[in-house]
Amino acid sequence: MRICYIDDNEEYLNSFKDNFKDVFCENDFTFMQYPNEYIGSDDVADIVMLDIEFGSEGNGLDYLDCITKKSGYTQIVIVTAYTEKYIEDIFMQKENVAGFLKKPIDRETMLRVFAKAEMLIRNKKAEVTVRTGKYEYVTLKADDILYIESAGHNLNYITRTKEYTTQGKLDDLIEQLPSFFVRCHKSYFVNLNKIKGFTGDYILIEGKPDISVSRSKKTEFIEAYRNHLQK
Protein backbone atom coordinates (compact mmCIF):
# COMPACT_ATOMS: atom_id res chain seq x y z
CA MET A 1 0.00 0.00 0.00
CA ARG A 2 1.17 3.51 -0.80
CA ILE A 3 0.55 5.69 2.25
CA CYS A 4 1.16 9.44 2.56
CA TYR A 5 1.08 11.10 5.99
CA ILE A 6 0.45 14.87 5.87
CA ASP A 7 1.13 16.80 9.09
CA ASP A 8 2.76 20.20 9.62
CA ASN A 9 4.18 19.12 12.99
CA GLU A 10 7.63 17.92 11.96
CA GLU A 11 8.45 16.79 15.49
CA TYR A 12 5.38 14.54 15.56
CA LEU A 13 6.19 13.11 12.12
CA ASN A 14 9.68 12.19 13.32
CA SER A 15 8.21 10.56 16.43
CA PHE A 16 5.79 8.60 14.24
CA LYS A 17 8.66 7.37 12.06
CA ASP A 18 10.56 6.16 15.13
CA ASN A 19 7.57 4.38 16.68
CA PHE A 20 6.31 2.56 13.59
CA LYS A 21 9.44 1.56 11.67
CA ASP A 22 8.13 -1.98 11.20
CA VAL A 23 4.98 -0.68 9.49
CA PHE A 24 7.16 1.17 6.96
CA CYS A 25 8.75 -2.13 5.93
CA GLU A 26 5.36 -3.46 4.82
CA ASN A 27 4.11 -0.29 3.10
CA ASP A 28 5.43 2.47 0.84
CA PHE A 29 5.32 5.58 3.07
CA THR A 30 5.87 9.22 2.13
CA PHE A 31 5.67 12.22 4.46
CA MET A 32 4.57 15.76 3.64
CA GLN A 33 3.82 18.82 5.76
CA TYR A 34 0.95 20.47 3.89
CA PRO A 35 -2.05 19.25 1.82
CA ASN A 36 -1.14 21.47 -1.15
CA GLU A 37 2.25 19.76 -1.27
CA TYR A 38 0.49 16.44 -1.93
CA ILE A 39 -2.14 17.93 -4.25
CA GLY A 40 0.54 19.55 -6.42
CA SER A 41 2.77 16.47 -6.55
CA ASP A 42 2.70 13.46 -8.88
CA ASP A 43 2.31 11.18 -5.88
CA VAL A 44 -0.96 9.20 -5.73
CA ALA A 45 -1.45 7.32 -2.48
CA ASP A 46 -3.82 4.50 -1.63
CA ILE A 47 -4.21 5.98 1.86
CA VAL A 48 -3.70 9.61 2.89
CA MET A 49 -3.28 10.18 6.62
CA LEU A 50 -4.40 13.78 7.03
CA ASP A 51 -3.99 16.08 10.01
CA ILE A 52 -6.75 18.67 10.52
CA GLU A 53 -5.12 21.86 11.80
CA PHE A 54 -2.58 23.47 9.46
CA GLY A 55 -2.36 27.00 10.86
CA SER A 56 -2.38 29.54 8.03
CA GLU A 57 -2.95 26.70 5.54
CA GLY A 58 -6.42 26.18 7.01
CA ASN A 59 -8.42 23.09 7.92
CA GLY A 60 -7.39 19.72 6.50
CA LEU A 61 -11.04 18.77 5.95
CA ASP A 62 -11.29 21.56 3.36
CA TYR A 63 -8.80 19.69 1.15
CA LEU A 64 -10.67 16.37 0.96
CA ASP A 65 -12.23 16.99 -2.46
CA CYS A 66 -8.93 18.07 -4.00
CA ILE A 67 -7.16 15.01 -2.62
CA THR A 68 -9.76 12.54 -3.89
CA LYS A 69 -9.88 14.22 -7.32
CA LYS A 70 -6.37 12.85 -7.90
CA SER A 71 -7.79 9.35 -7.50
CA GLY A 72 -11.29 8.26 -6.62
CA TYR A 73 -9.78 5.16 -5.00
CA THR A 74 -7.73 7.05 -2.39
CA GLN A 75 -8.99 6.55 1.16
CA ILE A 76 -8.42 9.28 3.73
CA VAL A 77 -7.68 8.66 7.39
CA ILE A 78 -8.18 11.76 9.54
CA VAL A 79 -5.53 12.24 12.25
CA THR A 80 -6.16 14.67 15.11
CA ALA A 81 -5.62 15.24 18.80
CA TYR A 82 -9.01 16.94 19.02
CA THR A 83 -11.61 14.32 18.11
CA GLU A 84 -14.35 15.89 20.23
CA LYS A 85 -13.88 19.24 18.49
CA TYR A 86 -14.11 17.80 14.97
CA ILE A 87 -16.16 14.63 15.40
CA GLU A 88 -19.27 15.98 13.62
CA ASP A 89 -17.26 17.37 10.69
CA ILE A 90 -15.41 14.07 10.32
CA PHE A 91 -18.56 11.98 10.11
CA MET A 92 -20.27 14.44 7.77
CA GLN A 93 -17.43 13.67 5.34
CA LYS A 94 -18.30 10.02 4.71
CA GLU A 95 -17.21 9.62 1.09
CA ASN A 96 -13.63 8.30 0.84
CA VAL A 97 -13.01 8.76 4.59
CA ALA A 98 -12.03 5.37 5.98
CA GLY A 99 -11.84 6.50 9.60
CA PHE A 100 -9.91 8.64 12.04
CA LEU A 101 -7.00 8.22 14.42
CA LYS A 102 -6.49 10.14 17.64
CA LYS A 103 -3.01 11.31 18.59
CA PRO A 104 -0.98 9.72 20.02
CA ILE A 105 -1.72 7.03 17.46
CA ASP A 106 -2.44 3.54 18.77
CA ARG A 107 -0.81 0.78 16.72
CA GLU A 108 -3.72 -1.69 16.74
CA THR A 109 -6.25 1.00 15.87
CA MET A 110 -4.08 2.24 13.01
CA LEU A 111 -3.66 -1.24 11.52
CA ARG A 112 -7.40 -1.86 11.84
CA VAL A 113 -8.20 1.39 10.00
CA PHE A 114 -5.62 0.54 7.31
CA ALA A 115 -7.30 -2.86 6.82
CA LYS A 116 -10.68 -1.17 6.45
CA ALA A 117 -9.22 1.27 3.91
CA GLU A 118 -7.81 -1.63 1.87
CA MET A 119 -11.23 -3.29 1.86
CA LEU A 120 -12.90 -0.06 0.69
CA ILE A 121 -10.38 0.29 -2.13
CA ARG A 122 -11.04 -3.28 -3.27
CA ASN A 123 -14.77 -2.57 -3.21
CA LYS A 124 -14.35 0.57 -5.31
CA LYS A 125 -12.27 -1.32 -7.87
CA ALA A 126 -14.73 -4.22 -8.12
CA GLU A 127 -16.46 -4.53 -11.49
CA VAL A 128 -19.61 -6.20 -12.79
CA THR A 129 -20.02 -7.28 -16.41
CA VAL A 130 -23.55 -7.03 -17.81
CA ARG A 131 -24.64 -8.67 -21.06
CA THR A 132 -26.88 -6.12 -22.77
CA GLY A 133 -27.28 -7.86 -26.13
CA LYS A 134 -26.45 -11.07 -27.97
CA TYR A 135 -22.85 -9.97 -28.51
CA GLU A 136 -22.82 -6.82 -26.38
CA TYR A 137 -21.38 -6.45 -22.89
CA VAL A 138 -20.80 -3.47 -20.62
CA THR A 139 -18.50 -3.41 -17.60
CA LEU A 140 -19.69 -1.32 -14.65
CA LYS A 141 -17.93 -0.29 -11.50
CA ALA A 142 -19.83 -2.20 -8.85
CA ASP A 143 -20.01 0.83 -6.57
CA ASP A 144 -21.70 2.86 -9.34
CA ILE A 145 -24.69 0.52 -9.18
CA LEU A 146 -27.39 1.85 -6.84
CA TYR A 147 -29.50 -1.30 -6.90
CA ILE A 148 -30.41 -4.28 -9.05
CA GLU A 149 -34.06 -5.00 -9.76
CA SER A 150 -35.67 -8.20 -10.98
CA ALA A 151 -38.44 -7.68 -13.55
CA GLY A 152 -39.85 -10.90 -14.97
CA HIS A 153 -36.99 -12.75 -16.66
CA ASN A 154 -34.82 -9.61 -16.74
CA LEU A 155 -32.47 -7.83 -14.36
CA ASN A 156 -32.21 -4.04 -14.34
CA TYR A 157 -28.92 -2.56 -13.12
CA ILE A 158 -29.69 0.97 -11.94
CA THR A 159 -26.94 3.60 -11.78
CA ARG A 160 -27.26 7.32 -11.06
CA THR A 161 -27.60 8.20 -14.76
CA LYS A 162 -28.49 5.04 -16.65
CA GLU A 163 -30.26 1.68 -16.55
CA TYR A 164 -28.83 -1.54 -18.02
CA THR A 165 -31.08 -4.53 -18.73
CA THR A 166 -30.04 -8.15 -19.14
CA GLN A 167 -31.65 -11.55 -18.83
CA GLY A 168 -31.16 -13.37 -15.56
CA LYS A 169 -32.23 -14.05 -11.99
CA LEU A 170 -31.18 -12.38 -8.75
CA ASP A 171 -30.32 -15.78 -7.29
CA ASP A 172 -27.55 -16.10 -9.89
CA LEU A 173 -25.84 -12.96 -8.50
CA ILE A 174 -25.44 -14.07 -4.89
CA GLU A 175 -21.86 -15.32 -5.35
CA GLN A 176 -20.90 -12.65 -7.90
CA LEU A 177 -21.64 -9.35 -6.15
CA PRO A 178 -19.30 -7.60 -3.68
CA SER A 179 -20.21 -7.80 0.00
CA PHE A 180 -21.70 -4.29 0.07
CA PHE A 181 -24.74 -5.55 -1.87
CA VAL A 182 -27.54 -7.00 0.24
CA ARG A 183 -30.82 -8.70 -0.68
CA CYS A 184 -33.70 -6.73 0.84
CA HIS A 185 -36.55 -8.25 -1.16
CA LYS A 186 -37.09 -11.12 -3.58
CA SER A 187 -36.88 -8.49 -6.34
CA TYR A 188 -33.98 -6.30 -5.15
CA PHE A 189 -30.30 -6.17 -4.28
CA VAL A 190 -29.25 -2.76 -2.91
CA ASN A 191 -25.83 -1.15 -2.60
CA LEU A 192 -25.35 -0.34 1.10
CA ASN A 193 -23.00 2.50 0.17
CA LYS A 194 -25.80 4.35 -1.63
CA ILE A 195 -28.53 4.20 1.02
CA LYS A 196 -29.55 7.63 2.31
CA GLY A 197 -32.03 6.40 4.89
CA PHE A 198 -34.26 3.59 6.12
CA THR A 199 -37.81 4.14 7.39
CA GLY A 200 -38.33 0.66 8.81
CA ASP A 201 -40.15 -0.53 5.70
CA TYR A 202 -38.49 1.34 2.84
CA ILE A 203 -34.93 2.07 1.74
CA LEU A 204 -34.28 5.64 0.58
CA ILE A 205 -31.88 6.24 -2.30
CA GLU A 206 -31.45 9.82 -3.47
CA GLY A 207 -33.25 10.56 -6.73
CA LYS A 208 -34.79 7.08 -7.00
CA PRO A 209 -38.09 5.46 -5.93
CA ASP A 210 -38.19 4.04 -2.40
CA ILE A 211 -37.36 0.33 -2.26
CA SER A 212 -39.49 -1.98 -0.16
CA VAL A 213 -37.91 -4.29 2.41
CA SER A 214 -39.84 -7.55 2.60
CA ARG A 215 -40.81 -9.12 5.91
CA SER A 216 -38.73 -12.24 5.19
CA LYS A 217 -35.59 -10.18 4.43
CA LYS A 218 -35.98 -7.43 7.06
CA THR A 219 -33.86 -9.00 9.82
CA GLU A 220 -31.07 -9.87 7.39
CA PHE A 221 -31.14 -6.38 5.87
CA ILE A 222 -31.20 -4.51 9.20
CA GLU A 223 -28.22 -6.50 10.48
CA ALA A 224 -26.23 -5.84 7.29
CA TYR A 225 -27.16 -2.14 7.30
CA ARG A 226 -26.28 -1.73 10.99
CA ASN A 227 -22.90 -3.41 10.49
CA HIS A 228 -22.25 -1.17 7.49
CA LEU A 229 -22.99 2.00 9.47
CA GLN A 230 -20.71 0.91 12.31
CA LYS A 231 -17.68 0.35 10.08
48 and 107 housed in the same domain = yes
Per-residue pLDDT tens for 120-136? 899 889 999 999 998 99
We report the CATH number of the domain holding residue 98 as 3.40.50.2300
73 and 26 co-located in one domain = yes
Q: Measure Cα distances from 79 to 8, 41, 49, 162, 207 in Å.
A: 12, 21, 6, 38, 34
Regarding whether 108 and 219 lie in a shared domain, the answer is: no
Residue 87 has pLDDT above 70, yes or no: no
Say yes or no: 33 and 69 in one domain. yes
Alpha-carbon distance of 100 to 107, in angstroms, equals: 13
Q: How many domains does the chain have?
A: 2
pTM over 0.75: no
Polymer length in residues for the chain:
231
217 and 200 assigned to the same domain: yes
pLDDT of 81 over the 90 cut: no
Is residue 119 pLDDT above 60, yes or no?
Answer: yes
Are residues 138 and 115 part of one domain?
A: no
User: Per-residue pLDDT for 2 more than 80?
Assistant: yes
Is 100 in the same domain as 178? Answer: no
- CA 12 vs. chain centroid, Å, equals 28
- The residue range of the domain holding 191 is 127-230
| pLDDT for residue 90 is more than 70 | no
